[in-house]
Amino acid sequence: MVQAIKRDEMFIEPEGIHVETHQPERRSRKPPLLLVHGALTGSWLWSNFATYFAERGWEAHALNLRGHFTSDLADLASTRMADYASDIGVAVRHIGRAPVIIGWGIGALTGLLYAQANPVLGLVLLAPSPPADALPRRPDEHELRAVPPVYDAEWWGWTAPMDRLREWMPDMTDEELSKMQELLAGARESGSARRERMIGVSIDTHRITAPTLVIGAGLDDVIHPSEARRTADMLNATYEYFPGASHFGLVMGSDSWPQVAGSVMGWLEERRPTMAATRAGAASR
């Protein structure tokens, strides 16, 4: 049943982290969802997802990492992946209890970094940047030097002509592609964090105990579905594959995101009793 929802936002001080919340008007006992965006993006990426889950009784908090969208400015040239994981900690402090983390791209890898040192109730990793043990190859020095200290959407290639974008992301409409480009304008990303990911960010899988779902996209030109599958195998996670989805289409494309969101919700509902037991056990300690 679709429920009425309410929206709220919070600047968390002193860190200056901005979180947008969509939640059902009637209080829910379902675990909170923390949505973590990827490179160059922000909470806007999750507009469809957050609304979808809130209308179905899930409290959804969309985080803006430091230096992204409406969070405070940051020195992105020196920002590391561990800094982004710390931003998740700030958001969790605001939520007040362990969440299910849903991450996309580098947001998924950031969620893994956080989860190996902190309690979470579940992990949903959409087209995740692969950890070190799932990388297909290591870069050479020339490739690493080619990454600027701070890069933008043009450097990344996401400001291409519309016909090229249609070719890359056929599951998104022209309106959705235009919105994506508009919101990417002026966005900046950390080159230091990118070089870390290229070299390989190590994850101690023995410390990841929460149930995990990994989703790969067949038309993804950023994270190949074979990389997503390697990440799932590394984590002993459930793996789902959407052959007609692109990287952005997984969360924004009208031809893809409803299927992905429905699948994620089904996975969450199946595991909700286990999550409730985990939460109750943690509260009693």
What does the pLDDT average to over 160-172?
94
Residue 285 confidence class, pLDDT cut points 50, 70, 90: very low
- Does the structure show a pLDDT above 50 at 254? yes
Residue 130: pLDDT above 50? yes
List pLDDT tens digits, range 174-214. Answer: 999 999 999 999 999 999 999 999 999 999 999 999 999 99
Average pLDDT, stretch 147-165?
94
Q: Rounded to 5 degrees, what are φ and ψ at 8?
A: -150, 170
CA dist 100 and 36 (Å) reads 11
pLDDT tens per residue across span 5-19: 999 999 999 999 999
pLDDT-above-70 percentage for the chain:
98
> Tell me, what CATH number does 128's domain have?
3.40.50.1820
Whether the per-residue pLDDT at 48 is higher than 70: the answer is: yes
Lowest mean pLDDT among 28-32, 100-104, 118-122, 197-201: 28-32
To the nearest whole number, what is the mean pLDDT of the chain? Answer: 95
What pLDDT score does 149 carry? 98
The owner of tokens 């958001």 is 91
What stretches of 205-250 adopt beta strand conformation (E)? Answer: 212-217, 238-242
With b for 16 or more beta-carbon neighbours within 10 A and e for fewer, the 28-65 pattern comes to eebbbbbbbbbbbbbbbbbbbbbebbbbbbbbbbbbbb
CA distances from 45 to 163, 176, 211, 250, 271 (A): 22, 11, 24, 10, 25
The model scores a pTM over 0.75 = yes
- Token pair, residue 179, equals 């919105």
Please report the pLDDT score of residue 192 as a whole number: 97
Rg (CA), the chain: 18
What's the Cα-to-Cα distance from 65 to each of 39, 89, 147, 200, 284, rounded to whole Å?
Answer: 10, 11, 20, 21, 32
pLDDT at 28 (0 to 100): 81
**CB neighbours of 257 closer than 8 A, spacing ≥ 6?**
48, 49, 249, 250, 251
Q: How much is the average pLDDT of 154-162?
A: 91
Q: Say how many domains are in the chain.
A: 1
Domain that holds residue 129: 5-284
Tell me the average pLDDT across 104-111. Answer: 98
Per-residue pLDDT reduced to its tens digit, 255-283 = 999 999 999 999 999 999 888 777 666 55
Helix pair 191-199, 106-115: axis angle to 10 deg: 70
Structure tokens at 105: 């791209």
Percentages (nearest 5) of helix, strand, coil residues in the chain: 45, 20, 40
